[in-house]
Structure 1
Amino acid sequence: MAKHLPEMTADSLQKIEHKGILKWIEKAGNKLPDPFMLFIYLSMIVIAMSVLLAGNAVTHPADGKAIAVKSLLSTEGIHWMLTEAVNNFVQFPPLGLVLTMVLGIGLAERVGLIEAVLQKMMAHIPKAIISYSVVFVGILGNLASDAAWVIIPPVGALIFMAAGRHPLAGFAAASAGVGSGFTANLMIAGTDALLSGITTKVAQTIDKNAHVSAVDNWFFMAASVFVLAFIGAWVTDKIVEPRLGSYRGEYQPEMAALTKKEIKALKGAGAAALLYAGIIAILVVPEGALLRDPENGSILSSPFLKGIIPIILLFFVTVSVVYGIMAGRIKDQTDVPKLMGDSVKGMSGFIVLVFVISQFIAFFTWSNMGIFMAVKGADFLQSIHLTGFPVLIGFSLLTCIVSLFITSGSALWALLAPVFIPMLMLLDFHPAFIQIAYRIADSATNTITPMNPYLPMLLAYYKRYKTDAGFGTVISTMIPYTVLFFLAWLLMMFIWYVFGWPIGPGVYAK
């Protein structure tokens, strides 16, 4: 019976598709105004709501201070909107990150390095596991922090195209791994350290000896990588790609056979990559190394991780220049900045869209609308008095809803943890297990929230292959990943809870 479960599930989901649910979402989403105008209208709605709710206050769970909704049309609000508009734009984190990474990735693409690497990869990756491999790499990509959003989805599209499959299926698979699978990993990442610090501080208000370390979710999150990669591959093959059909778009980079000169250049680039990695390892691995944290010698809080973006950029520039010179694509020093400049030209639409999105998110944050909604949601969940495992499900569902409006994982956890950790600890749940219930919900919704600062970048790349795509197209494509990742995670939590398996070294659900 188990053998036929995937087919039965696929049939059920295809029936749903035939009834038009995903198509309806796509059409409805794409009937919305142009993304630029959409976020102008959303900003106007936030302004109106801030006026209507101005003065309504909630108590911040972390510090007990009263947080009131502030009107954006007050004297203070108008002054703030005018004086901070430029800062909201230029200090919008994804803007600098995306443009920085495009310099390196664009150079690699224009000298032909990415094409050459993909051809070599395709010769060694069995076609049967391409989807699995793309999702798997996407999930592990969170080690590179937000840079994974910029690097992995476009490469996933090219890998699928090289295999004769629809590039948007590869783009979606990689995006699902990077976004909805963000919190899972085989290694301990900065997220583990950041969240566990907040959890420990709150848990000690109930038990002064409570402590949650960065490795306390490790076993559960490591297992999640393989489960989510399997589910993501299945969603890609059974739901997403059948909806897309055959690719007939205009954007079709040529994948001609590599010449002897290009093969030699690829080997040279590989040697440069190894040399670069070796130098970085020398600067990071030894005790007291230059790129470790100078105060405690840690890697998790080190200049290496904090400076990962320029380190990755320099890596791409190094290997691209070596490949370009050896392949004859770079003939003098003026070629490098020219090729970089050409790659940035294609991001002009993204830059324009970021201006209005940055204002919308800043309006939402300054007015305290996000905090107000989160606390009200938490109050409601407490008022219905759930107990046992269902309360964890309720908590995760609430997190899913609130995370659509507050995209910073650490900020949202700092808001929810003081309410739910004490409540759930009194029901005998380990704070590290409560943390998992939060992480899975916050992660799963990353690819569908309109507050995701990388959503305009995803749309910009999406339009390469489907010029009439809108936000509805992107969101309808990603919803199956969000729903099934979240359901799979809930099932995993229930299994760990029932069987008493460790979620980390010596740590259990209760």
Structure 2
Amino acid sequence: MADAAAQKGVLGWIERSGNKLPDPVFLFFWLIAILVVISIVASISGWSAMHPTEIDEATGQARMISAASLISAENIQRLWVEMPKTFTHFHPLGYVLVVMLGAGVAERAGLFGTAMRAGVRNAPVALLTPIVVLVGMLGNLAADAAYVVLIPLAGIIFHAAGRHPIAGIAAAFAGVSGGFSANLLPGQLDALLFGITEAAVETVFGDFTANIAGNWYFIAAMTFIFLPVIWYVTDKMIEPRLGKWDPANAGRADTEEQTDRALTDGERKGLRWAGLAVLGVVGLWLAFTFGPGTPLIDESATPEAQLTPFYQSLVGGFFLLFLLAGWAYGKGAGTIEDHRGLVKMMSGAMEDLAYYMVLAFAAAHFVAMFAWSNLGLILAVQGADFLGSSGLPAWALLAAIILVSALLNIFVGSASAKWALLSPVLVPMLMLLGVSPEMATAAYRVGDSATNIITPLMVYFPLILIFCQRWNKDFGLGSLAATMLPYSIGLMVAGLAMTIGWVVLDLPLGPGASVFIDVPTSAAPSK
């Protein structure tokens, strides 16, 4: 009955239509072919825009960005000469391989299944969703590690609790990626975005020091506003639509766990040993952070950037944590006999990623070629120019910025790359309207988050599809898009309402940061 209901309505149409698309690998190749044609047409027609930050030394004016044909001699050479680099430098590839080497051991040794079974056996099932979502949003402090650690674990947690595993994956994905800017504390994303904001202000108004905590209150409020939205969509819309999970559809035969049996003595011993291993790794990282030499703190950097090495080390930290915890559990529970068994489990984890490697090759080249064509840059710049000439009042203009940022996010995935292009136009423009740089940054963050979960250009989107196919081998791009679309709409509506209300009520965005500022009396035009 649930399956029949799932095929009805708009989401059912999206799922049916999307699942008729080619395999994602070939879909990316088709997109590359279409991109090549568009780049040729754009180049011939002279599609261009003025770069907002780069100055042509010969003319002293902003540098012109022109659409580049992907069949030009330069781009043909780049395609074939840089093919290994394009693939191996694909941003998420290294994160996925490193973390999964450790996580594969922990999973195959039985640590995940046993720990989750022990943890949720007597826990209220209804509280799993908000816990997973909150951890996902807080996990953004760990940047990309949250994608490759929490999201697959959420599927296991839901399954161990007798709930649909894909609902867990969807909730975690919505928390990590849809709530990308939501958090209780400022983190490395704040340092990155406000560094760009500071540069944007200085291009027009001279010296300016950004407040790294300028969005603290705003992003904390996002956490509490987005949490019930994702919770409601998961429990009231997505999980009922998915119906009861059928083990016969699983992509792997070892997916089903026995969730109702008591732990054995060996499993309890393994959990104790794994706990000691976790404590050891956490202690090691604390020593690296606060011990002699502080290797994970850059004491020479500005205060907001000092923890950057710590955040960047977390992927390696998760690898070591899962590897040692899995090995310790396996030795205690008797699922790992010797080091050869450990290596075999690591090799098995890489075997599971074989399809992802093929998919990453195609996706990496599409993303790279899109950048080579300059089409993403031109779209971003012209979109910002359109907003600047619209004449909208402040609250409406900020809402429009959210919508445009969300749309551009479908074409340009990197949050920092989009803001680097948009901010030199948007931030000074809004300051001349009396809107603070902190408010401009906050509005951008709302729009940048909402569509992360529905664009195949988001670099982790293919990986989420692989996670879902572990539990349902027939789960396709259409299924994932239909599953995540309600989250995207809900987060967009909530984010728009929150931003408009914040502006109307003129609430502080963070310590010393307000929505409005005095309009600058003088400006040094950028040359």
* Corresponding residue to 1:340 among 342, 346, 350: 346
* Corresponding residue to 1:37 among 8, 26, 35: 26
> CA–CA distance in 2 between the matches of 1:331 and 1:316?
18
User: How many corresponding residue pairs?
Assistant: 495
Q: How far apart are residue 211 of structure 1 and its match? A: 3.1
**Residue of structure 2 in register with 1:450 after alignment:** 456
The reply on whether 1:59 has 2:64 as its aligned counterpart is no
**Residue of structure 2 in register with 1:172 after alignment:** 170
**Residue of structure 1 in register with 2:359 after alignment:** 353
* Corresponding residue to 2:481 among 472, 475, 484: 475
CA contact (8 A) 1:447 1:482 kept: yes
> CA–CA distance in 1 between the matches of 2:293 and 2:486?
46
Task: Trace 1:36-435 onto structure 2 (pairs within 5 A).
Answer: 36-54=25-43, 55-63=46-54, 64-123=62-121, 125-208=123-206, 210-250=208-248, 251=250, 252-255=255-258, 256-285=261-290, 288-296=293-301, 300-435=306-441
Q: How far apart are residue 288 of structure 1 and its match? A: 4.7
438-447 vs 73-82, which moves further: 73-82
> CA–CA distance in 1 between the matches of 2:103 and 2:10?
36
1:449 aligned counterpart, secondary structure? coil
CA contact (8 A) 2:296 2:310 kept: yes
> CA–CA distance in 1 between the matches of 2:380 and 2:53?
13
TM-score, scaled relative to structure 1: 0.93
One-letter amino acid matched to 2:51? H
Residues 216-246 of structure 1: CA deviation (Å, up to 9, x unaligned)? 1011111211221111111001110111011
CA contact (8 A) 1:51 1:73 kept: yes
> CA–CA distance in 1 between the matches of 2:291 and 2:362?
45
CA contact (8 A) 2:201 2:428 kept: yes
Alpha-carbon spacing, 1:67–1:206, altered in 2? closer, same or farther (3 Å): closer
CA contact (8 A) 1:407 1:451 kept: yes
One-letter amino acid matched to 1:497? V
One-letter amino acid matched to 2:209? H
40-49 vs 494-503, which moves further: 494-503
> CA–CA distance in 1 between the matches of 2:63 and 2:436?
27
> CA–CA distance in 2 between the matches of 1:327 and 1:280?
26
Q: How far apart are residue 418 of structure 1 and its match? A: 0.7
Residues 297-333 of structure 1: CA deviation (Å, up to 9, x unaligned)? 8564543222221121011111111111111111111
Q: How far apart are residue 209 of structure 1 and its match? A: 5.4
One-letter amino acid matched to 1:247? W
Residues 281-307 of structure 1: CA deviation (Å, up to 9, x unaligned)? 122135852221152385645432222
* Corresponding residue to 1:22 among 11, 28, 32: 11
Alpha-carbon spacing, 1:472–1:430, altered in 2? closer, same or farther (3 Å): same
196-205 vs 469-478, which moves further: 196-205
1:215 aligned counterpart, secondary structure? coil
In structure 1, list runs of 5 or more residues that go unmatched: 1-15
Q: How far apart are residue 99 of structure 1 and its match? A: 1.4
2:451 aligned counterpart, secondary structure? helix
CA contact (8 A) 2:296 2:313 kept: no
1:70 aligned counterpart, secondary structure? coil
CA contact (8 A) 2:299 2:306 kept: no
2:49 aligned counterpart, secondary structure? strand
2:65 aligned counterpart, secondary structure? strand
**Residue of structure 1 in register with 2:469 after alignment:** 463
CA contact (8 A) 1:50 1:72 kept: yes
TM-score, scaled relative to structure 2: 0.90
CA contact (8 A) 1:190 1:300 kept: no
Q: How far apart are residue 453 of structure 1 and its match? A: 1.1
In structure 2, list runs of 5 or more residues that go unmatched: 55-61, 517-527
Alpha-carbon spacing, 1:17–1:420, altered in 2? closer, same or farther (3 Å): farther
Residues 323-348 of structure 1: CA deviation (Å, up to 9, x unaligned)? 11111111111111101111211111
Residues 136-172 of structure 1: CA deviation (Å, up to 9, x unaligned)? 1111111221111111111111111111111111110
Alpha-carbon spacing, 1:396–1:21, altered in 2? closer, same or farther (3 Å): same
The reply on whether 1:501 has 2:492 as its aligned counterpart is no
Question: Percentage identity across aligned positions?
Answer: 40
CA contact (8 A) 2:233 2:486 kept: yes
